[in-house]
Structure 1
Amino acid sequence: MSNLSDIQKKFFINVLLATSFTFSISQSAMTTIYPTLMKHFSVAVSSVQWLTTGFMLVMVLMMPLSPWFLKNVPFKAFLLSLQIIFLFGTLVAITAGNFSLLVIGRLLEGAAVGLLFPSFQSVILSITPEEKRLTQMGLVGLVMGSALAVGPIVSGVILEIFDWQAVFSFFLLILIILFLLSLKFIKNVMPHEPYHFDVISSISLMGLVMLLYALQTMTTKITISLLFIFFVGLLLFGYFVQRQFSIKEPLLDLRVLKNAAFRLGMFLTAGSYIALIVTTVLMPIYFQKILGVNALWSGLMMVPAAISLSILNRRSAEVMKRFGLKTTMLIGSAMILIGFFGLLITCQIKLWLLAIIFAALVESGNAFMMMPAVTYANNALEKDLIPHGTALITTVRQIAGVIGVLIISQVLTLVSKPLQVSMKGMLASFAVSAILAAILLILVLRIKNRGANKLL
């Protein structure tokens, strides 16, 4: 493992975070250009959504594989390979003559993103002393949170001036620059500890993709074929989990789940991500369908929440050092609960300012929840298990996001019937969100002060 000087480490982390930021923007940038792509390729909304759904499924499939790559492939070669895969996928998307090629380009991007997201967090945790991890993970939270919010804004601005290919060209240009910087500043910082790649485990991981696909599709319809996919996926994924505990060199070491502090941190991370993703789904619907504003204004109304999340992510480490982990996460979970409860009791007033304030409160609460929970969970592990822990947390977080959106979408649809979206549906959705936030607060109360302080 390379010993980096402070200057080298600074450039190393900045290039790594910039790559992750660019990858993350690409994850959320598509929604703004959906209408343009539907018109250009003459496809329905159910088809165009595969640009995000397919991206997410491939991303989740790749995440559990990241520990193997980190231990078996020199990190510099690994990162450069991911950048090349992403660049190639982006190039395929730019030159796509039909919709299928565009989807293939997005799938390649999703594969690169899925391998990078757990890996870059593992690397930063591994090269950072424990006493400085809070600050670094606050920076990671800033990058991840702000990128998801910035994506639709960036693609919207580009689309106002250029055509849809320019959105992909923007990512292409940025990644070429980052690739050149990586050649100079990225070093092999992870220990080379090769172990066997379990092919059977990687095949059984398809069960997770089948599960998520079935769950997502069930939001619009439930068919016999979907139920078949769901149960086959459940069996395959169950076998994957069982196999990880039974073989000597697991693809994803699930022994981390035996650590109570890690488990709690993982569930807290998942819960805070549900709150974040549900807010980004519900609020544009509320702004457009209930308040009657257009898509551009609904996007702009989410900017204050994104700004507050970005600012507070940088402050979370300071708050934690001053008040301790449990108090910090109590503040975060309380903000999320108050935000959802505020939306529940004020949404009938139809005052956009109140909606913006309470949505910002929910997202701001995440600054004191998500990355502190990740740090708490991983600090409970031995250093060699951190890549496995991070991969598991990232995967569970994505699964939780899918399930959270599924629950809220079903509540909104069922209560709103026969209308597409009604005030009753929004009230029910905010009520369920508030209940989930209350459960999150109860979980935070289970953190033991003495154990938490030991891990910081």
Structure 2
Amino acid sequence: MSNLSDIQKKFFINVLLATSFTFSISQSAMTTIYPTLMKHFSVAVSSVQWLTTGFMLVMVLMMPLSPWFLKNVPFKAFLLSLQIIFLFGTLVAITAGNFSLLVIGRLLEGAAVGLLFPSFQSVILSITPEEKRLTQMGLVGLVMGSALAVGPIVSGVILEIFDWQAVFSFFLLILIILFLLSLKFIKNVMPHEPYHFDVISSISLMGLVMLLYALQTMTTKITISLLFIFFVGLLLFGYFVQRQFSIKEPLLDLRVLKNAAFRLGMFLTAGSYIALIVTTVLMPIYFQKILGVNALWSGLMMVPAAISLSILNRRSVEVMKRFGLKTTMLIGSAMILIGFFGLLITCQIKLWLLAIIFAALVESGNAFMMMPAVTYANNALEKDLIPHGAALITTVRQIAGVIGVLIISQVLTLVSKPLQVSMKGMLASFAVSAILAAILLILVLRIKNRRANKLL
């Protein structure tokens, strides 16, 4: 971006971040309108959650492809294409006459989001000097984390005034504006380094989706066909991994996994993401089904969490510079654990204030976890491997999110009655979340201070 003026750079980054922010909001906005959609389409929790799970599965499928697109397609054309795909998917959702069409619309949105998330992080990491990456990634964390927290709020407010289609119409309007801004301000900032697209690798990636689909479905029933899908998926995905290590130009360069610091950072950001996405799924359901509030109030009750996450995302850089990465992430993981444990203990009290406080504590803990872990991981890589590292981190993070949502949704469904959410189901969900948070804290303790501070 050396050929761009300071003003052009500012507009470039802001339009890119605004697009990512809007895409990210769409990921979590569905949770507030789950009860409305369950009633409108007469589907259970385990079915309606596919609006999030299916979205995330497609994201996972597309993310490993992003390094190839970044190096083979001019960035401006790439971004504009993703915006068009998202807009088309949103139109499908708005006009959906049945639940299947609504899911298809969400899958198209998920494809666009899956290609953008690792790409925009790669662009920002690549054009930013290493000594300034903490500050820039703090801004990225603010955009991604806050957007996930804001999603249920936005959909809750819109749903109170309009019908559920208006939530998708909101995304449509914003993306049209961003598309027009992108035509003017987005530039081709990434080097054009074309290499062969490995079709065999892209096909074998379907094994990952087959695995996740089988795991999701087998939580309620186990059949011969599901076992077949699971084992075929396992074989295909295993072949994908083996192929990436054996070919000269891999679709996703898995050599980054040989770096211990990268691996640990990858797992930490994945664990942090599970906590964040599970909170955005569980809390609107808890507020509406257990506390009995409407969609608007369930969204507004998530405002404190979104505000605290936004504020602390920027503060986390200062905390890290002063106290070091390990201490910062210990603070974050402890906040997540205390938040889930607090929700477990106070769930039956049905006191909305305590629920808001503990939910805010969980989400705020992510400010000291997610982007610090991403920066820690990518700073351990050579510059030419950053696109692959960013793609792998976001892929693993989304896989973790899918698995986290699947586990929590199934716990909630199995313990509760069909088409209902019970107190026992919520307690079980918070208990599982607290256990996962404890594992995250243990992983943070494995960070080596000297190595961490050297990388920052």
Q: How far 1:251 moved relative to its partner?
A: 0.4
In structure 2, the CA distance between the partners of 1:211 and 1:260, relative to structure 1 (3 Å rule), is same
Determine the C-alpha separation between the residues in 1 that align with 2:344 and 2:173.
43
CA spacing shift, 1:36–1:352, aligned 2, 3 Å: closer
**Unmatched tracts of structure 2, length 5 or more:** none
Contact kept, 8 Å, 2:44 with 2:418, in 1: the verdict is no
Distance 1:99 1:12, change over 3 A: same
| C-alpha spacing 1:405/1:94, structure 2 compared with 1 (3 Å) | closer
> Superposed, which structure 2 residues align to 1:443-454 within 5 Å?
443-454=443-454
CA 262–213 in structure 1, closer or farther in 2 if over 3 Å, else same: same
Q: 1:196 to 1:83 in 2, by over 3 A?
A: same
- Tell me by how many angstroms 1:116 deviates: 0.3
Q: CA deviation at 1:255?
A: 0.4
Aligned CA distance change for structure 1 residues 307 and 404 (closer, same or farther; 3 Å): same
Question: Does the 8 Å contact 1:3/1:189 carry over to 2?
Answer: no
Give the SS at the match of 1:97: coil
Distance change in 2, residues 1:355/1:110 (3 Å): same
Q: Does 1:181 find its partner at 2:181?
A: yes
Partner of 1:60: 60
| Aligned 8 A contact 1:290 1:423 in 2 | yes
CA contact (8 A) 1:118 1:394 kept: yes
2:196 paired residue number: 196
Residues 350 and 153 of structure 1: is their aligned pair in 2 closer, same or farther, counting only changes over 3 Å? closer
Residues 254-311 of structure 1 deviation map (CA, whole Å, 9 limit, x = unaligned): 0000000000000100111111122223333443444444444333322211211111
Secondary structure at the counterpart of residue 256 of structure 2: helix
Q: Which deviates further from its counterpart, 347-356 or 118-127?
A: 347-356
Give me the whole-angstrom Cα distance separating, in 2, the residues matched to 1:213 and 1:234: 12
User: How many Å separate the matches in 1 of 2:259 and 2:399?
Assistant: 21
Unaligned runs of 5+ in 1: none
Assess, with a 3 A threshold, how the Cα gap between structure 1 residues 350 and 142 changes in structure 2: closer, same or farther.
same
Query: How much does 1:186 deviate?
Result: 1.1
Equivalent pair of 1:32/1:152 in contact (CA under 8 Å): yes
Matches of 2:84 and 2:415, distance apart in 1: 46
Deviation at 1:415, TM superposition (A): 5.5
After superposition, give the CA deviation of every residue in 1:23-52 in whole Å (9 maximum; x if it has no partner). Answer: 112222234445555666676766554433
Cα deviation for residue 130 of structure 1 reads 1.3
The answer on whether the counterparts of 1:2 and 1:188 sit within 8 Å (CA) in structure 2 is: no
Q: Percent identity?
A: 99
- DSSP-derived class of the 1:118 partner: helix
How many angstroms does 1:429 deviate by?
3.4
What whole-Å deviation, never above 9, does each CA across 1:79-112 have from its counterpart, x for those lacking one? 1111122222223333445554444333222211
Please tell me whether the aligned partners of residues 153 and 302 of structure 2 are also in contact (alpha carbons under 8 angstroms).
no
Asked if 1 retains the 8 angstrom alpha-carbon contact of 2:157 and 2:296, the reply is no
In the TM superposition, residue 8 of structure 1 has moved relative to its aligned partner by: 2.1
Q: 1:97 to 1:402 in 2, by over 3 A?
A: closer
1:33–1:394 distance in 2 versus 1, CA, 3 Å: same
TM-score normalised by L of structure 1: 0.92
Q: Cα distance 1:336–1:100, how it changes in 2: closer, same or farther (>3 A)? A: closer
- Larger deviation: 7-16 or 410-419? 410-419
Aligned residues: 456
Contact 2:12 2:187 in 1 (8 A): yes
Moved more, 4-13 or 207-216: 4-13
**Relative to 1, partners in 2 of residues 1:442 and 1:416: Cα closer, same or farther, differing over 3 Å?**
same
Does 353-362 or 401-410 show the bigger shift? 401-410
